[in-house]
Structure formats: C-alpha cells, structure tokens
Amino acid sequence: MATIRPKRASDLDACVALVHSAHASDGWPPLFPADVARFITPPYERSAWVAVADDGTIVGHVALHEVGDDALGDAIVDAAGCTRDQLAVLARLVTSHRVRGAGLGSRLLDTACAAALAEGCRAALDVAHVNAAAVEFYEHRDGWTRASSVLLTLPDGRSKDAWIYLGPEPGHPGGR
C-alpha cells in the first residue's frame, strides 16, 4: 500500500512525470501547461502531499492552494458563502495508472481535506465538466457536494465549464 507524506522539493521531477503520464492517458490537465513544474508546484500552493509506493515510486499527488483573487476564487467564495481565508482550494489530485481504483485517490483527497479542516478551512475544488471520470469520482466522495458551475478562462484564451465541489465544513458532521 502506498504511503502518503508531505511533498519535498526533491519530488519535483517525479511529480512532473506524473502530470505527463496523466495528460497522455486521461487528457488531464486539458491544456498542457508550458511549465509543468510550476503547474504542479505553483507559488500559491499552501501545502502538498505525495503518495509513495513500496518501491519508492511516486504514484500520487494532491495539494491545497490559496483561494485566488480570480473567477475561480470568486465562484468558490460565492458557493461556500464564507470568506477566502475560511477556504482552501484542493487541487492537482492525480494518481498513477498502475494504482487506479485501489482507493489512493480517495486517501489523497481525505488527507488534503483533513489538513484544511485542521486549519479551520473548508476545502473546495473545481473539475472540468468534460473530465467525466473525475466528476464521477467526486460525486461519490463522502462529505463532498456539487455546488455550482463556473466558466473559467484558460491561459490560451479558451474557456472551460467547471463544477465547483465543496468539502465538509469545519465543525459539522463529516468535518472536524
């Protein structure tokens, strides 16, 4: 079983490889970033975790990001009905194909969600409508609800429709 631990700077190359692999097999992210290292570890990352298989291979990643002062941040704030500092964006959730369907994606989601709750924050995320497998995944996660839809502009000027999902609230059933 994979072990989940905080991401280290030395994990960067393996995390970049994970993004390349997910793009090839799942079309995620939909617009391949020009700078993959910055995509997987952006300046607005608050914290991040990796999953490490028994052989030392990194097979999963998840992060918490600051709520940006942008369309996504506005949509999350509107959906949750609270302030930016009471929220965290759960992002960059990805697992390697070799471990799919074994519960690792759920464990990574729970790890980041629990860390947000421990800071008194509610986790929220966005997922593109076209990413049907990920939408299906989030639909079945305990404590998560689909709240709204937002039209987001990609760096190349194209736009995508994304669902906003909200995690459990601090101090409520399903939360801490």
Ligand X SMILES: CC(C)(COP(=O)(O)OP(=O)(O)OC[C@H]1O[C@@H](n2cnc3c(N)ncnc32)[C@H](O)[C@@H]1OP(=O)(O)O)[C@@H](O)C(=O)NCCC(=O)NCCS
- Give me the residues that bind ligand X (CB under 6 A), please: 22, 26, 28, 93-95, 99-106, 127, 131, 133-134, 136-137, 140
Q: Which residues on neighbouring strands pair with residue 123, listed in sequence order?
A: 88
* Shortest reach from residue 28's CB to ligand X, in Å: 4
Residue 13 CB, shortest distance to ligand X, in Å, is: 18
Comparing CB distances to ligand X, the nearer of 18 and 117 is 18
Q: Which is nearer to ligand X, 80 or 138 (CB)?
A: 138
Name the residue whose CB lies closest to ligand X: 105
DSSP states of 89-103: EEEEEEE-GGGTTSS
77 Cβ contact partners less than 8 Å away, ≥ 6 residues apart: 67, 83, 84, 87
Rank residues 31 and 85 by Cβ distance to ligand X and give the closer one. Answer: 31
Task: Select 28 or 49, whichever has its Cβ closest to ligand X.
Answer: 28
Other Cβ atoms less than 10 A from the Cβ of 98: the count is 10
Q: Are strands 87-95 and 145-153 parallel, antiparallel or unpaired?
A: unpaired
Pick between residue 37 and residue 133 the one whose CB is nearest to ligand X: 133
CB of 134 to ligand X, least distance (A): 4
| C-alpha to C-alpha distance for 51 and 46, rounded to whole angstroms | 18
Concatenated DSSP letters of 126-158: EEETT-HHHHHHHHTSTT-EEEEEEEEE-TTS-
Q: How far is the CB of 140 from ligand X (least distance, A)?
A: 4
Q: In the complex with ligand X, which residue's Cβ is closer, 46 or 100?
A: 100
For the CB of residue 38, give the shortest distance to ligand X in the complex, in Å.
Answer: 17
Cβ pair 60, 92 in contact under 8 A = no
Which two tokens mark 95? 């697992």
Min dist CB 151 to ligand X, Å, is 16
